[in-house]
């Protein structure tokens, strides 16, 4: 996974790995032009309204609405309303799958992730023409905006990161190595998925399905955090008070491991923003193949950007992208999720949304 190679700044060759890290650990020594600080960047409105309706707040609201909306049962279980489930399910009939991770098996789920659906179709012996087609169109036009604004697991990580302002950012070389993991995981998932699919078509799947167990229908599902939260967790009894804590003893070991995995994702995100997206999500890696040169993206205004003295965009980027290493015109990174944190925090308003 290579990122852009041209650096617009004037660092000495070989200093690339150390210099950004030094800058990354502390705020840039510059005077913010518009008085922006980390946490309250320029909004989409000015004045008091801008304090409330800024880009960051808008994204949080959209993320929360999708988190609840994608799994209508969350609301239904709060209000006990079949009507609410019915209302949301109407959308499920007409919406395509989205490039996020969201299992359609979740009770009352109204949206499914493209990668989740693709796996199920392959393992049923069906080629996912429509799912792949819709996914590619969305990614080529909007990039990975759905990762930044819609995916429930991205939302969980973003909210877990919020209280902590001193994040840990690995050196670029280490980050690059970690990012390879999700590519390997994608290859592994597709290997099993295609193997099951071909055996279904040839009618030889019986022993293979038995051997793969929970990995047979969708190899990503047992360790897909969205599947664990929205599907697996609904299959087990949860304690409702101290007097029935004993139900935890009934949980199978596999579910305990899955719960621990979710806890690691949440707790780890406190220090490592979006670490699951950056290093482990095979779906995100696949989506990145089509989003790199999307019609919509992030660019920098060279007349405003001061890359030699400022690295705030990189400090706040949850995907730890070396934004300044890309040409001013576009950040052609497969990891950009269009969260616009860089734009919100840029003190000189140099970051712009670009359309090609
Ligand atoms: S990369 Fe993150 S936001 Fe994108 S699908 Fe994976 S978990 Fe969701
Ligand atoms: S480059 Fe900007 S828009 Fe893209 S992921 Fe980083 S902060 Fe978000």
**Which tens digit of pLDDT belongs to each residue from 110-138?**
788 999 999 999 999 999 999 999 999 99
**Phi and psi of 293, rounded to 5°?**
-115, 40
Per-residue pLDDT at 261: 97
Report the mean per-residue pLDDT for the chain: 83
- Residue 148 alpha carbon, nearest atom of ligand 1: 3
Distance 320 CA to ligand 2 centre (A): 8
For residue 77, what pLDDT band results from cuts at 50, 70 and 90? low
The region of weakest confidence among 30-39, 94-103, 194-203 is 30-39
* Residue 162 near residue 168, CB atoms below 8 Å: no
Query: Residue 18 pLDDT > 80, yes or no?
Result: no
**Which tens digit of pLDDT belongs to each residue from 314-336?**
999 999 999 999 999 999 999 99
* Residue 320 near residue 336, CB atoms below 8 Å: no
Per-residue pLDDT at 92: 61
Q: Where are the domains of the chain?
A: 32-355
* Interatomic CA distance for residues 81 and 73, integer angstroms: 9
pLDDT > 90: what percent of the chain? 61
Query: Residue 217 pLDDT > 50, yes or no?
Result: yes
Asked if residue 281 has its Cβ within 6 Å of ligand 1, the reply is yes
Distance 311 CA to ligand 2 centre (A): 13
Three-state secondary-structure class, residue 352 = strand
Per-residue pLDDT at 46: 54
Query: Residue 1 pLDDT > 60, yes or no?
Result: no
Q: Whose CA is nearest to atom 8 of ligand 2?
A: 339
Residue 152's CB is within 10 A of a number of other CB atoms, namely: 24
Per-residue pLDDT at 244: 86
The region of weakest confidence among 24-38, 74-88, 99-113, 115-129 is 24-38
Q: Whose CA is nearest to atom 7 of ligand 2?
A: 317
Closest ligand by atom to 334 CA: 2
Distance 148 CA to ligand 1 centre (A): 8
Asked if residue 281 has its Cβ within 6 Å of ligand 2, the reply is no
* Residue 182 near residue 280, CB atoms below 8 Å: yes
């Amino acid at each position: 996974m290579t990122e852009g190679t041209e650096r617009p700044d004037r660092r000495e060759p070989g200093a690339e790995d150390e210099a950004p890290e030094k800058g990354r650990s502390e705020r840039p020594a510059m005077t913010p032009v518009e008085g922006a600080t980390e946490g309250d960047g320029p909004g989409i409105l000015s004045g008091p309204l801008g304090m409330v309706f800024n880009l960051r707040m808008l994204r949080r609201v959209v993320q929360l609405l999708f988190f609840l909306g994608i799994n209508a049962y969350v609301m239904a279980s709060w209000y006990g309303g079949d009507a609410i489930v019915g209302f949301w399910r109407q959308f499920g009939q007409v919406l395509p799958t989205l490039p996020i991770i969201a299992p359609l098996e979740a009770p009352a789920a109204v949206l499914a992730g493209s990668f989740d659906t693709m796996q199920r179709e392959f393992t049923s012996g069906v080629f996912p023409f429509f799912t792949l087609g819709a996914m590619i169109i969305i990614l080529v036009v909007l990039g990975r905006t759905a990762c930044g604004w819609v995916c429930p697991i991205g939302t969980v990580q973003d909210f877990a990161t919020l209280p902590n302002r001193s994040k840990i950012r690995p050196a670029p070389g280490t980050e690059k190595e970690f990012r390879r993991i999700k590519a390997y995981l994608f290859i592994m998932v597709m290997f099993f998925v295609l193997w099951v699919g071909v055996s279904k078509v040839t009618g030889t799947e019986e022993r293979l399905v038995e051997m793969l167990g929970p990995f047979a229908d969708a190899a990503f599902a047992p360790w897909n955090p969205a599947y664990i939260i929205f599907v697996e967790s609904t299959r087990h009894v949860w304690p409702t008070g101290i007097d029935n804590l004993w139900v935890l003893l009934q949980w199978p070991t596999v579910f305990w491991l899955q719960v621990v995995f979710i806890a690691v994702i949440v707790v780890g995100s406190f220090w490592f923003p979006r670490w699951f997206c950056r290093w482990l999500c095979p779906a995100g890696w696949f989506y990145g193949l089509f989003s790199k040169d999307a019609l919509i993206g992030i660019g920098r205004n060279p007349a405003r950007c001061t890359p030699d003295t400022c690295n705030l965009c990189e400090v706040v980027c949850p995907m730890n992208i070396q934004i300044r290493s890309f040409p001013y015109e576009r950040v052609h990174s497969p990891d950009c999720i269009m969260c616009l944190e860089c734009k919100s925090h840029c003190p000189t308003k140099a970051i712009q949304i670009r359309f090609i």
